């Protein structure tokens, strides 16, 4: 952040207040209002943070107009095409692409932490069998602070590092266990000879009774889904993690808070909601009815998997996933699946409809990820857990950045109070 010598002038009741303007390396200038209340006695009002930068960060940048997503400066399509998830994890956590030796060491460290404390198996068994895997994950990740208390001290840099590694390594194991538990199958231990994505498929789909070989094309598609979801600037769940950690809460509790926020259908829960919507539409001839509902102001229905707060041109993650979806569907021989026909036709219809064109509503990452995950054999309830495990590296990188910042302060928004003014308590017999 650099001072620009530019200032903004705010005039209230004839009195002017000069506000410094900062220039980022990319993106619009930012007016610094930190001293506004002390100087002018007013707050600013921005529910939903549509015009407010909540922090400074060097990790991820989105240009919504251009449809660009950069991690530490590298475009997401290059990372998805040439790199792989663990290399991107290193990049997000430490700031640069690793050397071959650094990558090998990092992969070894992650691999050594993939198992969970054996007593966690008992903890899982406390949940109802039909619990949604996201409900289980919120609980189990929060409980990591009980199982891994030796890496929960946020003031110790070594413990912070161990917490990052443990979270990235164990989240696939926890997500797979949540799935296995929900379908009544035995937990499958991680295999350290497999790569990160292949190991996750193994933990989800293998059973002790028979041999399971991971298809390398499916492992590559899985890895790409992880990579495309790795981080996404100051979205709702990341901001939740930052706000939770601003109080000094331990990293496991903060990531559990992020998972809870991600679950909502306007955020990470959209991939499940999108597939459920495609099922509800059912056949291509019913698409006009649902398009009409999405456009009707009096109907709360929205096309799930469409639209984005920041992207107003295209979602670059969706572009990569669309291609991946074609590859996976062809490999699995399911490209004539009726659900996929509905998805393709819905996409085509919406992209040519003036309502969606005018409001700049495009398919987002959740539209295509659901289609691929469905084809791979995941139930819809696992879509958001997969998003959560992929995003853990983004959350923990942003957490690490924030904790390491000497300017870190507890997050404490103000409000526009519209309630009653002070009134006197009435005894119950007089009300
Ligand atoms: N279907 C129909 N209309 C829509 C949709 C949609 N999916 N999305 C936005 N609109 C309309 C909305 O009704 C509003 O119309 P008007 O200006 O007439 O009131 C206008 O477009 C702007 O919408 P908004 O709600 O003010 O925009 P937002 O930036 O607050 O919301 C969003 C962004 C992603 C929550 C929203 O587009 C949405 O609900 N999409 C469906 C859920 C979804 O797919 N979420 C996943 C987002 S990507 C993954 C992630 O980052 O989590």
Q: Model confidence over 98-136: pLDDT tens digits?
A: 999 999 999 999 999 999 999 999 999 999 999 999 999
Tally the C-alpha atoms within 13 A of residue 162's C-alpha that lie toward its C-beta.
Answer: 15
CB atoms closer than 10 angstroms to residue 340: 17
Tens digit of pLDDT for each residue in 49-92? 999 999 999 999 999 999 999 999 999 999 999 999 999 999 99
pLDDT higher than 80, residue 335: no
Instruction: Indicate if ligand 1 lies below 6 Å from the C-beta of 201.
Output: no
Q: Is 269 in the pocket of ligand 1 (CB under 6 A)?
A: no
Of 4-18, 33-47, 183-197, 320-334, the range with the lowest mean pLDDT is: 320-334
d(CA 305, CA 297): 18
- Residue closest by Cα to atom 25 of ligand 1: 309
Q: Give me the architecture of the 7-53 domain, per CATH.
A: Single Sheet (2.20)
Q: 237-292: per-residue pLDDT in tens?
A: 999 999 999 999 999 999 999 999 999 999 998 888 999 999 999 999 999 999 99
* Res 329 pLDDT > 90: no
- From the alpha carbon of 367, which atom of ligand 1 is closest? 44
DSSP 373-429: HHHHT--GGGHHHHHHHHHHHHHHHHHHHHHT-TT-----------S----PPPPGG
Cα dihedral sign, 270-276-282-288: negative
Q: Is 364 in the pocket of ligand 1 (CB under 6 A)?
A: yes
**From atom 22 of ligand 1, which residue's Cα is the shortest distance away?**
359
Which atom of ligand 1 is nearest to 309's Cα?
29
Instruction: Catalytic residue, from 308, 335, 336, 353: name it.
Output: 308
Cα of first residue to Cα of last residue in the chain, in angstroms, is: 57
Catalytic residue list contains 215: no
Per-residue confidence band for 322, with pLDDT thresholds at 50, 70 and 90: confident
Task: Name the class of domain 74-263+382-402.
Answer: mainly alpha
The whole-chain average pLDDT of the chain stands at: 94
Residue 337 has pLDDT above 80, yes or no: no
- 366 is annotated as an active-site residue: yes
CA of 293 to the centre of ligand 1 (A): 14
Residue 40 in contact with residue 15, Cβ under 8 Å?
yes
* Residue identifier of the C-alpha nearest atom 4 of ligand 1: 302
**pLDDT over 60 at 2, yes or no:** no
Atom of ligand 1 nearest to the CA of 237: 52
- As given in the structure block, the two tokens for residue 113 are 């932490």
CATH code 2.20.28.60 region(s) in the chain:
7-53
Q: Closest Cα to atom 24, ligand 1: which residue?
A: 309
pLDDT, residue 141, reads 98
Q: Ligand 1 center to residue 7 CA distance, Å?
A: 33
Burial class (CB in 10 A: 0-12, 13-18, 19+), 21: middle
CATH 3.30.420.10: does it fit domain 269-376? no
Residues of the chain with CATH 1.10.580.10: 74-263+382-402
Tell me which DSSP letter residue 47 carries: G
Residue nearest to atom 34 of ligand 1 (CA): 308
């Amino acid at each position: 952040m650099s001072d620009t010598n530019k200032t903004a002038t705010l005039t209230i009741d004839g009195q002017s207040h000069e506000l410094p303007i900062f220039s980022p390396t990319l993106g619009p200038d930012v007016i610094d209002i930190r001293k506004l209340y002390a100087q002018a006695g007013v707050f600013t009002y921005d529910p939903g943070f549509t015009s407010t930068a909540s922090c400074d960060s060097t990790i991820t940048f989105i240009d919504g107009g251009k449809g660009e997503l950069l991690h530490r400066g590298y475009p997401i399509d290059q990372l998805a095409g040439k790199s792989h998830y663990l290399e991107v994890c290193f990049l997000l956590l430490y700031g640069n692409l690793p050397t071959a030796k650094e990558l090998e060491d990092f992969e070894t460290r992650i691999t050594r932490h993939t198992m969970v404390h054996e007593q966690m198996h008992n903890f899982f068994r406390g949940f109802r069998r039909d619990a949604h895997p996201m409900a289980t994950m919120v609980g189990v990740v929060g409980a990591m602070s009980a199982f891994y208390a030796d890496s929960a001290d946020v003031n110790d840099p070594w413990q912070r590092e161990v917490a990052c590694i443990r979270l990235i390594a164990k989240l696939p194991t926890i997500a797979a266990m949540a799935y296995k538990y929900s379908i009544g199958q035995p937990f499958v231990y991680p295999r350290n000879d497999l790569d990160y994505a292949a190991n996750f498929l193994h933990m989800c789909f293998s059973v002790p009774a028979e041999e399971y070989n991971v298809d390398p094309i499916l492992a590559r598609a899985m890895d790409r889904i992880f990579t495309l979801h790795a981080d996404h600037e100051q979205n709702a769940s990341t901001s939740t993690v930052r706000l939770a950690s601003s109080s000094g809460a331990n990293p496991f509790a903060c990531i559990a808070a992020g998972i809870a926020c991600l679950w909502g259908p306007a955020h990470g829960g959209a991939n499940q909601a999108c597939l459920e919507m495609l099922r509800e539409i059912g056949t291509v001839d019913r698409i006009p009815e649902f398009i009409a509902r999405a456009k009707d102001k009096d109907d709360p229905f929205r096309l799930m998997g469409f639209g984005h707060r920041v992207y107003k041109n295209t979602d670059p993650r969706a572009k990569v996933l669309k291609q991946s979806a074609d590859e996976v569907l062809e490999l699995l021989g399911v490209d004539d699946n009726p659900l996929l026909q509905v998805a393709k036709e819905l996409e085509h219809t919406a992209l040519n409809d003036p309502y969606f064109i005018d409001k700049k509503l495009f398919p987002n990452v959740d539209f295509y990820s659901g289609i691929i995950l469905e084809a791979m054999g995941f139930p819809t309830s696992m879509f958001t857990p997969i998003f959560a495990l992929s995003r853990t590296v983004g959350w923990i990188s942003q957490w690490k950045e924030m904790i390491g910042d000497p300017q870190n302060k507890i997050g404490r928004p103000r409000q526009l109070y519209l309630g009653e003014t002070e009134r006197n308590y009435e005894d119950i017999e007089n009300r």
